Amino acid sequence: MLLGVPSIINADLLWVLGAMGHGDVLAVVDRNFPADSVSRHTVSKRLVHIDGVNDTQAMKAILTLFPLDTFIDEQVQHMQVVGEPDTHLEVHTEVLAECQAVMPDAAMGSIERFAFYEAARQSFAVVQTSEDRPYGCFLLTKGVVFD
């Protein structure tokens, strides 16, 4: 047990968050995402499960320890709805709100489904939640810790 670490952050996720450097990308994905096969290609070859929580809950916990990158225009990306690239779902709005709670000017972009899979393969690690809403898949870019 550690003080100040949200209870849903397990030891594997704590290692991933600590090992990442500035500019590294973390994929946070829903339960339908092919996380096992994608994570085999990531930098760390790690897949971390956070069971029993949705993306919003996971993001809130992760963002207590994970600084968002202030040097880029879009700190978070979401998977686009197939055939509807401009659609923003409730899960997208909720995750952006969590990002903006820690970084008020945080912005979210979107990535086409198959491009998202490739970007996730290039990420540092994959975190899979129990999110059951479709398209609950995100990429977060880590920033610098200044203190």
CA neighbor of 124 nearest in space, from 5, 23, 2:
23
**pLDDT tens digits, 50-92:** 999 999 999 999 999 999 999 999 999 999 999 999 999 999 9
Whether the per-residue pLDDT at 116 is higher than 80: the answer is yes
- Active-site positions read 22, 69, 117
CA neighbor of 16 nearest in space, from 119, 112, 126:
126
Q: Residue 110: inside a domain, yes or no? A: yes
- Output the pLDDT for position 32: 97
Q: Residue 57: inside a domain, yes or no? A: yes
Contact between 132 and 66 under an 8 Å Cβ cutoff? The reply is no
Q: What is 25-89 written as a DSSP string?
A: EEEEE-TTS-HHHHHTTSSS--EEE-TT--HHHHHHHHTTT-PBPSSSS-SEEEEPBTTBTT---
Average pLDDT, the chain: 96
Percent of the chain with pLDDT over 70: 99
Q: Residue 146: inside a domain, yes or no? A: no
What DSSP designation does 107 have? -
Q: Residue 147: inside a domain, yes or no? A: no
Q: Domain count for the chain, please give it.
A: 1
CATH number of domain containing 31: 3.40.1650.10
pTM of the model: 0.96
**Which residues constitute the domain of residue 106?**
11-141
Q: Residue 95: inside a domain, yes or no? A: yes
Q: Residue 102: inside a domain, yes or no? A: yes
